[in-house]
Structure 1
Amino acid sequence: MSWPGGTLLEGRPAPPRIPPPARSTARSLGELALVILLVVLAAFATHTTDLLIVIVALIVMIMLHELGHFATAKWSHMKVTEYFLGFGPRLWSVRRGETEYGIKAIPAGGYVKIVGMSNLEEVDPADEPRTYRQQPFHNRLIVALAGSTMHGVMAVLLIWTYFTFAGVPSSSVVQVQALAPLAHGADPARQAGLHAGDVITSADGRRVTGVNMLAGVIGAHAGQAVKLGVRRNGMVRHLTVTPATETANGKAQGRIGVELAEGNSSIGPVRAVGRSFVALGDTVTASFSALGQIFSPHGLSSYWHDLTNAQAAKASEHSTVRIQSIYGAVRTGVQGAEAGWGGLVAVLVSINVFVGIVNLVPMLPLDGGHVAVAVYERIRSRRGRAYHADVRKLAPVAYAFLLFLGFIVVSALYLDITHPLANPFH
């Protein structure tokens, strides 16, 4: 995205644009494409495509977060000089206009460099009108909030896509989750031709309305043939299964050797919009609840106990609210992908919501810190005279927060390696 120099600098002619040599740019793009191709081929060769999918999804998530800042900064006429994935030494970059785009060596996030983010930054006087600090309050607020907003948009789009194409969970839809041979070796479901993923639509001539209803029909027909209507890959077929007899509480019951679960019912793209926002709201509520538990005095005490006590760390493997590092998040994402694309979507939605919320914590260098500074400056400004906060006074608090954040990141990585969380999809 580019803007005419005359518009941005109030009539000042735009500086001459010097494009990079076409040959070097083409060569850089070719080298990047070759690296990407080699990574993809390696993933297929080593059967780690699920890992590759998760990593690519996280990279896209990071870059879309930064795209929110980038696009709104450009829209606000701010000068953006860098748009990078990663930190540290440059691995690859290309310049377009006044902005350099590229990849750096440490894949710990991404950033957009907007000129004049604070009063500490020295800026060319010619660029001062286009600095972040000189923009109206509403523009600074929009830019600071854009990253977390993008996470919300991504979460809604992921949920909507899943609901549109896979449907929404419904208690009236019964799906075969897995085949499970009975204790004495009988396997009626497999013998009848049932497969994991089949949706059972009817039993003994009656429409299936839930797991309990189907279990009741099967249980009442021990040793008797039962006709099942089964939907598989969009087609309905009819199978005949003869439940084996098992005794429970002194009473003979029919069993066919399956694990049943609620399936999905189709709702279409329009109805999926409303359901997507409801699901997002539920996820946001659950995330706030989890964060409240984690960072409460009791939660922090328990976390320290997990770090210093091997037995407690072992028990935390089954926790549903333990902090995860990026390594742990990738691992859970791979487990979700192995369980099906619904599992992967659930993990990606949770990550988006979590990152979006945490990023709004009102502490520098997080986006929420920039929001807090902008609001404070707005309150302190009087009669058209803009007030600029002295960021140097906030430095001790920011450094303390970064130390705390670093401790959480390193300790979470330690727990994820030594005591990884149990697979939530089993």
Structure 2
Amino acid sequence: MLLFVLGILVIGVGLALSIALHEVGHLVPAKLFGVRVTQYMIGFGPTVFSRTRGETEYGIKAIPLGGYIRMIGMYPPHRGEPEGTIREDSTGLLQQITELSEEAKAYESSQYGPEDAHRTFVALSVPKKLVVMLGGPTMNLLISVALMVVLVCGIGLPAVTPTVQSVSQCVVPADAPADVSCEGRPEAPALAAGIRPGDTLTEIDGHPIHRWEDVTVAVRAAGDRTVPVVVERDGETLHLEATMIVDARPVLDEDGAAVRDADGKLVTEQVGFLGVAGTPDLVPQSPAQVPQMAWSAFTQTGRLVLTLPVRLWEVGQAAFGPGERDPNGPLGVVGVSRLAGEVASADQPGFELREKAGTMISMLASLNMALFVFNLIPLLPLDGGHVAGALFEGVRRFLARLRGRPDPGPVDMSRMLPLTNAVAIVFILMTVLLLYADIVKPITLFP
């Protein structure tokens, strides 16, 4: 139970730091561009702790499930209002959900004087607005990539190593079942050569062995010749000889996976056969693997977001019906916390501290990628809504210049408040649905 709680704390702290850095991504460029930032808060609800430094209040609120910075002048003055009238708003989703209505009612009381008109968000140029609003999601992207670097280069990715896990007793067809009898079949070359489980292959037929792929290439190219095999056993280097056998083995693709035809049958070729299996382990990889991994995570998250209505419908059917949830579907805070607890407290063979650490890092990387993609949705109150508004403003001003017309000024995003409220309600319903589903139909790693 203690490890379960520890896992929840680790993922909770990691998520809180991710949210805090997301808001730093908004805060720093806003201050650099001269915008007056009155608050930087982690969480929402009542303030638990705060300190004012300069003109900004920094603090923590009671419910640490979000964050926001508060900038003056997110909306331009409305008609009939004095020049320089400014309104405050925030970048935090949950904060906006709870305060939009009250802020609209208290509009007149939340005004600032004309002396601060040049320090408003709305006074920024379009490029600067984009930098401020994209700063938060970009920070999550950088966190995700940094965690992937730690995972790939430090912890390692699942791979097969040249350490022998098992030695075949005989030569059997590539698609034979695991319990096939060896009666009447030739002895495997590795067994005849004296190779044992636990040996580390270091050289085959003069080819140095660093990865399991090196073993595959050297063995297949050896044909039916007798070749030298060098292994390490209990700290000693042994020089052995193996007489290879040419046999039908699966054709491998560039990723090392067996190729199958349209009917699902293995595609084979006549190549050298040794009869050893490598040991699965976490193997540190080159940083060059990270861009591909980040792109894969981005596209997978993007597909999930694009199909979110369908996914949520499926979650609802599973939560209120007899079906099971899709393990690759959306999760709420409770579901993520539960998985983190399972990872930390798991007692599974081969799933030790390094595997647990790698899984936790992978989860945090995925969460940050999700925050990056989700915040780019072009709807208020998400960052993507403000980005869309700034882009529309830039296009409108560009077209006005082309036509020789006066500058139309900044876009009044306050006109989107009804849609913003509708989106906020949808987000609340989504959160409640995922919370309920995570409780009654939880997704587990180890069923």
TM-score range, shorter chain: 0.5 to 0.7
Structure with max Cα Rg: 2
Query: In the TM superposition, what are the counterparts of 1:272-283 in structure 2 within 5 Å?
Result: 272=287, 274-283=288-297
Partners of 1:346 and 1:205 lie apart in 2 by 35
**Identical amino acids, percent of aligned pairs:** 28
- CA offset at residue 203 of structure 1? 10
Determine the C-alpha separation between the residues in 1 that align with 2:309 and 2:12: 28
Deviations 1:280-338 (A, max 9, x none): 01111111223334334xx45423322331x12xx11xx23322111212222333445
Partner in structure 1 of residue 423 of structure 2: 401
Match for 1:282: what amino acid?
S
- For the 8 Å contact 2:161–2:278, the answer to whether it is kept is no
Farther off after superposition, 408-417 or 199-208? 199-208
Give, in whole Å, the separation in 1 of the partners of 2:395 and 2:361. 41
Unaligned segments of structure 1, at least 5 residues: 1-42, 177-182, 184-197, 217-226, 240-257
Q: Residue 163 of structure 1: CA displacement?
A: 2.1
- Give the aligned partner of residue 380 of structure 1: 396
RMSD: 3.5
Q: How far apart in 1 are the matches of 2:61 and 2:389? A: 29
Alignment of 1:29-40 (within 5 A): none
1:155 to partner: Cα distance? 0.9
Alignment partner, residue 162 of structure 1: 151
Unaligned runs of at least 5 residues, structure 2:
78-86, 88-110, 166-178, 180-196, 220-229, 239-276, 346-354
Displacement after TM superposition at 1:89 (Å): 1.0
Select 2:328's aligned residue among 313, 321, 329. 321
- Partner residue, 2:432: 410
The CA deviation string for residues 68-88 of structure 1, in whole angstroms up to 9 with x for no partner, is 000111111111111111111
Q: 1:143 to 1:204 in 2, by over 3 A?
A: closer
Distance of 1:330 and 1:175 partners within structure 2: 37
Q: Which residue is equivalent to 1:290? A: 304
Task: Note the 1:103-142 alignment, pairs <5 A.
Answer: 103-119=60-76, 121=87, 122-142=111-131
Residue in structure 1 matching 2:15, options 31, 36, 58: 58
Superimposed CA distance per residue, residues 11-47 of structure 1 (whole angstroms, 9 cap, x where no aligned partner): xxxxxxxxxxxxxxxxxxxxxxxxxxxxxxxx9x787
- Cα 1:300–1:135, aligned 2, differ >3 Å: closer, same or farther? same
More helix by share: 1
Structure-to-structure mapping, 1:340-359, within 5 angstroms: 340-359=356-375
Larger RCO, structures 1/2 (Cα 8 Å, 6+ apart): 2
Judged with a 3 Å threshold, the aligned counterparts in structure 2 of structure 1 residues 174 and 52 are, in CA distance, closer, same or farther, namely: farther
The one-letter code matched in structure 2 to 1:202 is L
> SS in structure 2 opposite 1:111?
strand
- Give the structure-1-normalised TM-score: 0.66
Corresponding residue pairs, total: 318
2:163 touches 2:201 (CA, 8 Å); kept in 1? no
Map of 1:389 onto structure 2:
411
Following TM superposition, by how much is the alpha carbon of 1:173 offset from its aligned partner in structure 2, in angstroms? 5.1
CA distance in 2, matches of 1:230, 1:129: 74
Tell me what 1:363 maps to.
379
| CA shift digits 1:119-148 (9 cap, x unpaired) | 362332211101100000000000111111
Aligned-partner Cα distance in 1 for 2:237–2:70:
62
Q: Distance in 2 between matches of 1:200 and 1:114?
A: 63
Q: Which residue of 1 aligns with 2:317?
A: 305
Q: Is the 8 A contact 2:151 2:358 kept in 1?
A: yes
Q: Which amino acid aligns with 2:366?
A: S
Give the letter aligned to residue 74 of structure 2.
M
The alpha carbon displacement at 1:169 in A equals 4.0
- Shift in CA distance, 200/82, structure 1 to aligned 2, threshold 3 Å: farther
Measure, in 1, the Cα distance between the counterparts of 2:425 and 2:133.
Answer: 23
Distance 1:54 1:238, change over 3 A: farther
Tell me the distance in 2 between the aligned counterparts of 1:321 and 1:390.
Answer: 39
The reply to whether residue 152 of structure 1 matches residue 144 of structure 2 is no
Deviation at 1:199, TM superposition (A): 8.2
Work out which of the residue numbers 199, 207, 212 in structure 2 matches 1:209: 212
Shift in CA distance, 388/230, structure 1 to aligned 2, threshold 3 Å: farther
TM-score normalised by L of structure 2? 0.63
For the Cα contact (< 8 Å) 2:3–2:341, is it kept in 1?
no
* Pairwise CA distance, 1:373: 0.9
